[in-house]
Amino acid sequence: METIHLKDFYQRGDQVFLPHVSVDCVIFGFHENQLKVLLLKWKGGQWCLPGGFVKHEESVDDSAVRTLEERTGLDHIYLRQFYTFGHPNREKGKKIPDARSWVNKRFISIGYYALVEFSKVNPQPDILSTECRWWDINKVPALIYDHKEIIKKALESLRMDLNDHPVGYNLLQEKFTMPELQRLYETILDESLDRRNFQKRMLALEIFERLKERRTGGAHKAPYLYRFDKKKYERALKQGLKQGW
Amino acid sequence: METIHLKDFYQRGDQVFLPHVSVDCVIFGFHENQLKVLLLKWKGGQWCLPGGFVKHEESVDDSAVRTLEERTGLDHIYLRQFYTFGHPNREKGKKIPDARSWVNKRFISIGYYALVEFSKVNPQPDILSTECRWWDINKVPALIYDHKEIIKKALESLRMDLNDHPVGYNLLQEKFTMPELQRLYETILDESLDRRNFQKRMLALEIFERLKERRTGGAHKAPYLYRFDKKKYERALKQGLKQGW
DNA sequence: GCAAAAGTGTTCTTCTTACACCCATGG
DNA sequence: CCATGGGTGTAAGAAGAACACTTTTGC
């Protein structure tokens, strides 16, 4: 992350970044059987999505990648553009210290969602914020602008993508159990699934490898551990999965 | 359509439009059993997608609607945002008469596709072009920038949307036959479908009304005419159709 | 009367859903 | 020893694919 002074950013940021264009990232994680989103607390006290601006010679995708890296410390993240928000009143209530700043102008924001492994993330605030932390998807606080709507649309897109993209690889730790994978799907879809049918369906995708180990330590019968078979997983990502759900 | 002079547009267009942001529209029509796209011929002789810019106080959606109206003469068009193209080299080979013009800068383009009733369209060139006409989707000429890729992605999105949106209403004339609807689906999907299964599936959607008339005049047995049942169609649009394909 | 397209219904197969029994573990 | 969660298989139902015969029309 480059160091940039706030005053510089407001006054001369447009020498580095395109005006009127921003990127917002809905970063999903999964922890303790809950779907989480990473949010930032503005200096004003309100919460918002991590976002950024597009450098003059930078691709929009790269700008999203950069934001992701800066907020999470991770690279090679699963990232997907899902919608562009372009209503002129989307930033209602906008207040920037310097009224003449380029940042004070209208912004069209390109929405990306990311899937990250919760335990690997080291949340980092940006220069405009004081705090960066996970929120339960069902307990998101009031957000600035249209950010609530952006999250809603991100979640809808994620649900759609679940149809033909194996999604656990990005959200779970390397080794995981079927019940864990099922919780993940149930959380994203917000519905409960039949244990036996779920397992059958998942295994039918043929992208998993069952290990001989089991997850011990918990109460009750120890479940098997699985991991993604990298080769088959990659192939599935390219071809799209067989239809389902 | 407002009259605007070309020189003004290049020199002072940024007083009206946002810099760095454009809209590209892939306008689909259906005629003589072929899927068509509406293209413009630039004054330089190359072909491109109809597009436009976003006014300072205008929503991006409205900007697309305006472009659509200007090129086709139609309003209330089925329109869908499908992707935003933001690579810095997407406009390779760009040549604008005035090198200092705002238009000469990099643009991020928000892609929309539209479905229109071919026979109702009155193609109109814009101020930058000399010709506006339909091209068969399989015979699209060389296009500027990344416009070929934009069409490709639009078509992919349309194919996806076919899963849960009844699409004929926007592309066919008011009254149509099942075989015609089938040609439309086959053209979009680029695969042939079984006549009997197709009809069953369509009728199972329960959004059609079969008329007593038949389409006479052609050779062979006269097929029935159908039209969309407006109420049921609207409901289906909102709820999404039952899964299929 | 023949070729070509359209109307219609049935069977087979596949996928989806529903559901029951036994096993392991911690308390 | 019992409550709870996990492993597995089977049967019924729904959805999709495959397919054949009859009718209409222009030539």
DSSP-based three-state secondary structure for B29? strand
Q: Where are the beta strands (DSSP E) in B120-234?
A: 129-136, 208-214, 224-228
Residues in A touching B22 (Cβ below 8 Å): none
- Of the listed ranges A148-152, A203-207, B114-118, the least confidently predicted one is A203-207
pLDDT of residue B244: 39
B-chain residues near A18 (CB < 8 A): 20, 106, 108
B213-244 exposure pattern, b = at least 16 Cβ within 10 A, e = fewer: eeeeeeeeeeeebbbbeeeebeebeeeebeee
Phi first, then psi: give them for residue B133, nearest 5 degrees.
Answer: -155, 165
Residues lining strand C at under 7 Å (Cβ) are: A 194-197, 200-201, 214, 216-222, 243-244; B 177-179, 195-197, 199-200, 219-224
H/E element holding A112?
A: strand A108-115
Interface check for B57 against chain A (CB to CB < 8 A): the answer is yes
pLDDT of residue A119: 96
User: Is there a contact between B88 and A61 if contact means CB atoms under 8 Å apart?
Assistant: no
Check: CB of residue B34 under 8 Å from CB of residue B45.
no
Cα→Cα distances B66→B25, B158, B222, Å: 11, 21, 40
For A101-146, the pLDDT digits (tens) are 999 999 999 999 999 999 999 999 999 999 999 999 999 999 999 9
Using DSSP, state whether B37 is helix, strand or coil.
strand
- Give me the DSSP letters along B5-29: -HHHHHHHGGGTEEEEEEEEEEEEE
Give the pLDDT of residue B114: 98
pLDDT score at A3: 60
Task: Answer for the pair B39, B143: CB distance below 8 angstroms, yes or no.
Answer: yes
Confidence of residue A245 (pLDDT cuts 50, 70, 90): very low
For residues B38 and B72, give the distance between their C-alpha atoms in angstroms, rounded to a whole number.
Answer: 9
Give the percent of chain A with pLDDT over 70. 96
What pLDDT digit, counting tens, does each position of A20-32 carry? 999 999 999 999 9
Average pLDDT of span A225-234: 94
Q: Is the CB of A231 under 7 A from strand D?
A: no
Chain A environment of B157 (Cβ under 8 Å): none
Closest CA to A91 of A64, A109, A71: A109
B88: nearest CB among A20, A57, A88: A57
The DSSP code for A15 is G
Measured in residues, chain A has a length of 245
Residue with tokens 């036996």: A196
Closest among A30, A27, A26, A25 to A169, alpha carbons compared? A30
Place of tokens 């690279």: A75
Instruction: Establish if A79 touches chain B: CB-CB under 8 angstroms.
Output: no
Contact in structure between B165 and B235 (CB atoms under 8 Å): no
28-87 of chain A touching strand D, CB 7 A cut-off: none
Distance, first Cα to last Cα, chain A: 41
Query: What average pLDDT does range A51-68 have in this prediction?
Result: 98
Q: Chunked in runs of 10, what are the mean pLDDT values of chain B (245 residues)?
A: 77 97 98 96 95 98 98 96 98 92 97 98 96 97 98 97 91 97 97 97 95 94 97 85 48
Residue of B nearest to A109 (CA): B84
- Dihedral sign for Cα A135, A138, A144, A149, please: positive
**Is the minimum CB–CB distance between A60 and chain B shorter than 8 Å?**
yes
Q: Return the amino acid letter for A227.
A: R
All structural domains of chain A: 6-162 (3.90.79.10), 168-239 (1.10.10.10)
Q: How high is the pLDDT of residue A242?
A: 55
Length A146 CA → D23 C1' (Å): 60
Q: Are strands B51-55 and B34-42 parallel, antiparallel or unpaired?
A: unpaired
Q: What gap in Å lies between CA B232 and CA B237, rounded to an integer?
A: 9
CA–CA dist B193, B19 (Å, integer): 46
Question: Cβ–Cβ contacts within 10 Å for residue A219, how many?
Answer: 5
The nt closest to A193 (CA vs C1′) is C17
Q: Which of A18, A57, A84 sits opposite B110 (nearest CB)?
A: A84
Identify the H or E element spanning A170.
helix A168-171
- Bridge partners for B176 per DSSP: B226
The average confidence (pLDDT) of chain A is 94
Q: Which residue is nearest to nucleotide D15 (CA to C1')?
A: B244
Which stretches does DSSP call E strand in B98-138?
108-115, 129-136
Nearest to A237 by CA among A164, A174, A178, A154: A164
Q: How far is the CA of B71 from the C1' of C10 (A)?
A: 50
Cross-chain residue pair A56–B83, CB shorter than 8 Å: no
| Spatial CA neighbour of B92 closest among B107, B82, B111 | B107
**CA atoms of A70 and B167, how far apart (whole Å):** 42
pLDDT confidence of residue B243: 42
Protein-covered nucleotides on strand D (Cβ within 7 A): 3-10, 16-20, 23-27
Residue A227 CA, nucleotide C25 C1', distance (Å): 24
Q: How far is CA B165 from CA B72, B160, B203, in A?
A: 23, 9, 14
Question: Do A83 and A111 contact (CB within 8 A), yes or no?
Answer: yes
Instruction: Report chain B residues whose CB lies below 8 A from the CB of A16.
Output: none
Strand C nucleotides, any atom under 7 Å to a protein CB: 3-10, 16-20, 23-27
Label the pairing between strands B108-115 and B78-85.
Answer: antiparallel
